[in-house]
Structure 1
Amino acid sequence: MTTTERSIAAAEAHSAHNYHPLPVVVASAEGAWMTDIEGRRYLDMLAGYSALNFGHCNRRLIDAAKAQLERVTLTSRAFHHERFADFCTQLAELCGMEMVLPMNTGAEAIETAVKTARKWGYQVKGVPDGQAKIVVARNNFHGRTTTIISFSTDPEARADFGPYTPGFEILPYGDLTAMEAALTDNTVAVLLEPIQGEAGVLVPPPGYFRAVRELTRERNVLFIADEIQSGLGRTGRTFACEHEGVVPDMYVLGKALGGGVVPVSAVVSSREVLGIYHPGEHGSTFGGNPLACAVALEVIAMLRTGEYQQRAAELGEHLHAELGLLIGGGAVEAVRGRGLWAGVDIAPTHGTGRQISEKLMDQGVLVKDTHGSTIRIAPPLTISKEDLDWGLDRLRAVLTG
């Protein structure tokens, strides 16, 4: 039995099987490359579902973390700390908003957004107590807490975890007619992903987000954008909403905000919305801790240069041009996405998404499948064009071999 096989066997024996990882055991990583425990190198074309937008062990982010580790890592929100005000101020400015409510994981931030929308609905909009409704999209992925899976349409995420939390209405993604009909006096929010990542990198119809923004403004409904995967440079803009010139009432951020170093998430909105909270009504021991703020501040500084957004736009154009050439050859049925983010639908005759992912792993490229037939490609924004082309060459070889 190899070292890799022993490690995987131990993991499967002693950890819950809530994931089905590819059979690779990573020991170290730098930039867009990972090395396993036996010394084999792999090109990371997933980037931790966008958590690693700035690559593995980014020196700026590691240095920021190390410097903070030597000072103070956690105070809890029982006290102020010296990084907190700067983090909230600079993140609010990056988003063009006024206030920040920091948490840790993306799911925590979505839960926070749901609670905020309901409280705003009762206190500001005047919705009768217990009647608040939030509109969401079919095939969404916002996390896996009990409340969040209550408005999921994914059987794997939802089955056997009831009873479910009420108060949500699920509509087809991109259907503006259904959206118009769904919004009532008791609707407090519309929660959407600008691009549905887990569903296969689904991009909504042109103009859909702009129309939803206008409709929610007319009906006095909060428009919440889940930019946990799509935001912070991934699509070639700071936020994916910018592709349609849309500014939501609330951003939900996570993943890349922690720079691949620590979990950092946040809800960012106006004073009217986040100003509804009073001490004791919501919180998190680790939310907004000094270490998290130090890393996130460096992420914000990096995004302010525009360098990473530009790289994602330019390399993304190249990525989609190359992937588009694969359509019509019998192996690829469709390609979707924006920037350095793509969903590639594999023809059933060429195997499942899992099988293609395993073949790519054998060629030194790591991607991830979703919904059976789709593979997701989302390399770090720091990837070189040469490395990107190397990975695409392997993909072509796997699909045509």
Structure 2
Amino acid sequence: MNVNRFIFISLLIDLLAFTLILPLLPSLLECFAKQDTSGLYNYVDNFIQSTQQWIGGPQMFNRSLFGGLLGSLFSFLQFISMPIIGMLSDIYGRRPLYLICLTGISISYFFWSISINHFGIFVLFRILNGLSKGNVSLSTAIVTDVTTENKRGKGFATIGIAFSIGFIVGPMIGAILSKLHWSPPDGTGSFCFQLFPPIFAFILSLINMIFSYHYLPETLLPHKRATSLCNSLVDAFHYINPWSLFSFKIVKNLNTKEKSILRYGAFVNFFFLFIYSGLEFTLAFLTFIRFNFTSMDQGKLFFYVGFQMFLIQGVLLRRINHNYYNHLLLSGILLVIPAFIIVGYAQTITGLYLGLIPYAYSSAIVIPSLSTTFSSFGNSSQKGVLLGIFRSIGALARACGPMTMSFIFWRFGIETAYTIGSILLLIPLYLGYQYHIQCKTYRSTFE
């Protein structure tokens, strides 16, 4: 089987399982608030309430802060584990580490399926899931192994399409499965745990393990592998050290001009995802609070956004010349600013869905465009390193964003949070413009 086709199918299965929970999170937190037997939920909730009395955050937004903490925890663990998994794959090959990640993901979904009335087990599920999500970064490494530079953009776009389809179908499946009711043996009727989504996620993860075991070849040949575990782990430390990430200490043979351009790209990546991921995470709580969205309503919203992303990435991004990717980058950052303003102030569902049109465009365009131009710098032996830095910076931003923006959402309310976020997006817009100008000037010297 073609490696790019394998990556597409494997990632799609993985993302279908991963996105099942997206429309369910607000209702899941409501469920644990009523029925958690571990005591962990009440402990964290009491801490939030005591902080609320001190700071003055509205109680109705407590769940959003709770969700933001969970979202940041997941991304922080991914930020820590991803470089280590990547470095180990440089020594032992992509295939064994990919299969180990899928095994960890399957175990995490098993814990979700047994987290009945037990918030502690649910948190354990999120921890294991975050630690095992290195398969996504390994997918980009595998694509890099088997493609030439001029075809790499299409390979990354294929990964983006898998993400789009996953975000179209997965949340809808999760919402539909949440409608299937299961009651405990005592038949009390007050039970709210949604059993079928985690079971389906577990089954999908097992299918992905079997599929990958049979069809994933080793793409990193032995003579191209790193030989020193110690040196590789030292290198991995650079990926979890923010100073090393933004100074590109681990990248060799970059001239001063290239480092300057890449720093602009790195800061665009960080500031955009920091703000975007934070507001993105609060979207489910916004619709839950303002419009009383059910899990099915949430699923329809994700379908609406994901379908637009699929069309944009499948029709536009795959066909446009890579020389215009920086123009797409700037258009995506620019359009997400009014998108968040419209969404934050929308008082009708029509207004909400109107704001989600430019939001979907930005979601589909910004990061794929930036990653493609970012990876065009450096020599061929450093492409994987640059992409690893890019992914680590993105993971760091996603680790900080949900917690920060959820706090603003919780403390100041919906409109203020989305206004602040939209204003802050002017930072990556300015940096993106500088990145575009420097890229253009640098390349013109070689023409």
State the TM bucket, normalised to the shorter chain: under 0.3
Which of 1 and 2 has higher RCO (CA within 8 Å, sep 6+)?
A: 2
TM-score w.r.t. the length of structure 1 is 0.28
Q: Whose helix proportion is higher, 1 or 2?
A: 2
